[in-house]
Amino acid sequence: MSRAGLNKDPEDVSKMFDGVAKRYDLLNDLLSLGRTKAWRRVVTATIAPKPGMKILDLAAGTGSSSRPLADGGADVIPLDFSEGMLAAGRKRHPDLPFTHGDALNLPFAADHFDVTTISFGLRNTSDPGAALREALRVTQPGGRMVVVEFSQPTNFLFRTIYINYLMRALPSIARKVSANPEAYIYLAESIRAWPNQKGLAAMMTGAGFERVGWQNLTFGIVAVHTGYKPKSAPTN
């Protein structure tokens, strides 16, 4: 497995997630300092799922992000590149239509979804810009893209403490709780290498989304970015 900010081979990343699928929720808790569930409540409120709404949940993994959207009445398709994650998701949520697919080449028609979302997965694609452009393609004109991703804490002292935790404490914890500690180290490094809030907003704007804004959670450990597909956007 090559290091995170460098060369994300899709096959390597998929195999990595296959290997951590059974303990992925624990992994998220370690990365989030235990704030995952609170963050998901904010994201669900931001998306505001309702009956009749069509939502594509990219990099859905085991379905933790899809479940509250479906419970809100929306028609949700959880999509992931990792067969291991999909298998774990189908076991936990047999009522959800888990779908295997590549975020860079989505198996859906243009202008299909009211909301396209991705939680903690954009930074693991081999080409985040291409993934955003593909998300734009399948989103309806006037529809939204909601990106939930680790970001950079806005307070310098807290940012220093958190980065030190990721790069020093987390690998030590991972070696004690996982047979695949390299996956934890990879994900910690991917967080450190990822653009800050303004950088991701610029990336979304460059992909074609407009009115891009974000909400910081837990001092900026995570940011929820929202962008809209132009109502007059051409489709391919």
Could you identify the residue written with the tokens 């291991």?
A: 84
Between CA 84 and CA 62 the distance in angstroms is 9
pLDDT attached to residue 79: 97
pLDDT attached to residue 2: 41
The DSSP symbol for 155 reads S
Domains and CATH numbers, the chain: 10-152+195-228 (3.40.50.150)
Q: Using CA atoms in the order 146, 89, 87, 119, what is the torsion angle rounded to 10 degrees?
A: 20
pLDDT attached to residue 5: 40
pLDDT attached to residue 189: 80
pLDDT attached to residue 158: 84
Q: Where are the beta strands (DSSP E) in the chain?
A: 54-58, 75-80, 99-100, 113-119, 139-150, 210-217, 222-228
Centre a 10 Å sphere on the Cβ of residue 234 and count the other Cβ atoms it contains. Answer: 9
Cα atoms in the 13 Å half-sphere on the side-chain side of 209: 30
Centre a 10 Å sphere on the Cβ of residue 155 and count the other Cβ atoms it contains. Answer: 11
Please list the ranges in the chain whose pLDDT falls under 70. 1-33, 167, 174, 177-181, 233-236
Q: What is the pLDDT of residues 114-164, one digit of tens each?
A: 999 999 999 989 899 999 999 999 999 999 999 999 898 888 888 888 877
Q: pTM for this structure?
A: 0.85
pLDDT attached to residue 136: 98
Say if CB 79 and CB 108 are below 8 A apart: no
pLDDT attached to residue 31: 63
